[in-house]
């Protein structure tokens, strides 16, 4: 016995973002949500509020109590120009009632009023505002992940008309000011890109692969088949825009060698894009694939054509963890470039022509694939693990209380 009282167990309220299930693993975002939930569970006693039906979570090793689960669909927003102007100016006011969904706010407030929580944890700035969590800013933890500023600037670039571009540019300026004030008010915020974390003087939480797969079926010897793989949530704009660019400007210019196939895995694909891609030779649109390990095992290389977006891409680590050669863009590797080196761990396609030539060079090239994938897998094993994330979260939650 040390003679010192035991440190009290942290009481944590985890509010699941959006209307998703924090125990499902269908996308990089849902994987990160689940990892953060598990990290919180390793720090103390966790109650979970989820505005959706939840799946079974007994096999995920997460000791958390679900205190509320009911589907609450997003509120409809008015679309006239006056409401758009109000939205624009309210973006400057952190915690404005225009941000809040009173249905979700009432649920959270009811649980907070009954029990003292040391921390209230959620993901995304927009979700913290929607659920009315700013009143708890002194004990609020927000894993921001995708910077809303970067996302707003992306929308400016993608604007269809000059008038819309001006509006979105003003909105981006308002978002930038609001974002900095948000970080200043909230007890703990975290970004997935360490460079952004330094810029805003907040914390860095890495993206991590969900499972370390050591199954023998991922042997490189079984994958010299000309199969190219993409994995990603295709309802997310960065993924479907990136893949459409790839399917338009890269894939048609590959030499159609025997057995060449493009496997596209992910939910949420738009009907028009599905029809367009399906019309191309050798393309297989797989939709959501429960056994994604098998897809990785059957693939020769993994392409990650990301040109937009605000966070880091967890699929880079997942593919490297599966010992698959990654070919990606500067945006796709963002946030990882201190650990991974182009030509050593992956191939970096800076334009469409280099993307084509790199795929053609890599297909069937066992020495190249082996050299890069073995080195990349060792880097992942050394620098990315659940224990590393859990320790970071423990440090944050313990040192600030």
Q: Do 241 and 308 touch, CB atoms closer than 8 A? A: yes
Q: Is residue 1 a part of any domain in this protein?
A: no
Instruction: Specify whether 38 is located in the same domain as 62.
Output: yes
Instruction: Specify whether 57 is located in the same domain as 170.
Output: yes
Q: Is residue 3 a part of any domain in this protein?
A: no
> What is the pLDDT, as a whole number, of residue 188?
95
Instruction: Specify whether 165 is located in the same domain as 304.
Output: no
Instruction: Specify whether 22 is located in the same domain as 79.
Output: yes
Collect all residues with Cβ–Cβ distance below 8 Å to 303 and sequence separation of at least 6. Answer: 228, 229, 230, 246, 326, 327, 328, 355, 359
Tally of domains in the chain: 2
> What is the pLDDT, as a whole number, of residue 4?
45
Instruction: Specify whether 363 is located in the same domain as 392.
Output: no
Positions in the chain whose pLDDT score sits under 50: 1-2, 4-5, 58-59, 82, 212-218, 220, 222
> What is the pLDDT, as a whole number, of residue 94?
61
Instruction: Specify whether 204 is located in the same domain as 278.
Output: no
3 state SS of 183: helix
Q: Is residue 165 a part of any domain in this protein?
A: yes
> What is the pLDDT, as a whole number, of residue 305?
97
pLDDT digits (tens, 9 = 90+) for 350-375: 999 999 999 999 998 999 999 999 99
Instruction: Specify whether 266 is located in the same domain as 118.
Output: no
Instruction: Specify whether 81 is located in the same domain as 198.
Output: yes
Instruction: Specify whether 366 is located in the same domain as 258.
Output: yes
Q: Which runs of E-coded beta strand occur in 225-335?
A: 227-231, 261-265, 283-287, 301-304, 325-328
pLDDT digits (tens, 9 = 90+) for 37-76: 999 999 999 999 998 877 655 445 567 888 998 888 877 6
Instruction: Round to whole Å and give the CA distance between 281 and 146.
Output: 35
Element (H, E) at 395: helix 386-399
Instruction: Specify whether 50 is located in the same domain as 177.
Output: yes
Handedness of CA 261, 267, 271, 273 (dihedral sign): negative
Q: What is the CATH number of the domain that holds 55?
A: 3.40.50
Instruction: Specify whether 393 is located in the same domain as 379.
Output: no
Q: Is residue 294 a part of any domain in this protein?
A: yes
CA distances from 400 to 9, 14, 91, 342 (A): 14, 17, 29, 38
Q: Is residue 2 a part of any domain in this protein?
A: no
**The whole model's pTM is what?**
0.84
Cα-Cα-Cα-Cα dihedral of 50, 398, 317, 249, to 10°?
60
Q: Are strands 44-50 and 64-69 parallel, antiparallel or unpaired?
A: parallel
Q: What is the CATH number of the domain that holds 245?
A: 3.40.50.2000
Instruction: Round to whole Å and give the CA distance between 394 and 401.
Output: 11
> What is the pLDDT, as a whole number, of residue 208?
81
Q: Is residue 106 a part of any domain in this protein?
A: yes
Can you state the percent helix, strand and coil of the chain, rounding each to 5?
A: 45, 15, 40
Domain range for residue 266?
216-383
Instruction: Specify whether 256 is located in the same domain as 198.
Output: no
Tokens 């991922």: give the residue.
Answer: 218
């Amino acid at each position: 016995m040390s003679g010192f009282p035991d440190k009290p167990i942290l009481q944590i309220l985890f509010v699941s973002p959006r209307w998703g299930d924090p125990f499902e693993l269908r996308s990089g975002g849902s994987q990160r949500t689940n990892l953060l939930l598990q990290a919180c569970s390793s720090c103390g006693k966790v109650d979970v509020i989820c505005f959706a039906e939840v799946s079974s979570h007994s096999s995920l090793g997460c000791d958390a109590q679900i205190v509320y689960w009911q589907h609450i669909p997003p509120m409809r927003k008015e679309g006239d120009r006056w409401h758009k102007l109000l939205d624009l100016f309210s973006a400057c006011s952190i915690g404005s009632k225009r941000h809040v969904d009173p249905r979700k706010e009432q649920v959270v407030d009811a649980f907070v009023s009954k029990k003292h929580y040391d921390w209230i944890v959620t993901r995304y700035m927009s979700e913290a505002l929607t659920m009315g969590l700013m009143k708890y800013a002194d004990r609020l933890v927000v894993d921001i992940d995708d910077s809303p500023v970067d996302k707003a600037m992306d929308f400016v670039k993608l604007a269809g008309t000059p008038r819309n571009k001006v509006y979105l540019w003003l909105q981006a300026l308002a978002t930038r000011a609001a974002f900095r004030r948000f970080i200043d008010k909230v007890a703990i915020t975290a970004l997935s890109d360490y460079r952004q974390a330094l810029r805003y003087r907040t914390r860095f939480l890495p993206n991590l692969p969900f499972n370390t797969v050591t199954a023998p079926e991922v042997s490189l010897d079984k994958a010299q088949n000309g199969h190219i793989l993409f994995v990603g949530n295709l309802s997310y704009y960065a993924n479907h825009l990136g893949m459409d660019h790839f399917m338009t400007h890269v894939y048609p210019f590959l030499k159609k060698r025997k057995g060449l196939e493009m496997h596209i895995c992910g939910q949420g694909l738009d009907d028009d894009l599905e029809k367009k891609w399906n019309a191309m030779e050798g393309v297989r649109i797989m939709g959501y694939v429960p056994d994604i390990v098998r897809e990785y095992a059957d693939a020769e290389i993994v392409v990650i054509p990301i040109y937009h977006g605000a966070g880091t891409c967890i699929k880079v680590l997942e593919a490297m963890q599966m010992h698959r050669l990654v070919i990606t863009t500067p945006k796709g590797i963002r946030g990882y470039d201190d650990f991974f080196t182009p030509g050593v761990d992956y191939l970096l396609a800076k334009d469409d022509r280099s993307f084509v030539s790199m795929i053609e060079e890599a297909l069937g090239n066992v020495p190249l694939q082996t050299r890069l994938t073995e080195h990349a897998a060792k880097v992942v094993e050394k620098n990315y693990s659940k224990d590393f994330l859990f320790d970071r979260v423990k440090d944050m939650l313990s040192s600030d209380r």
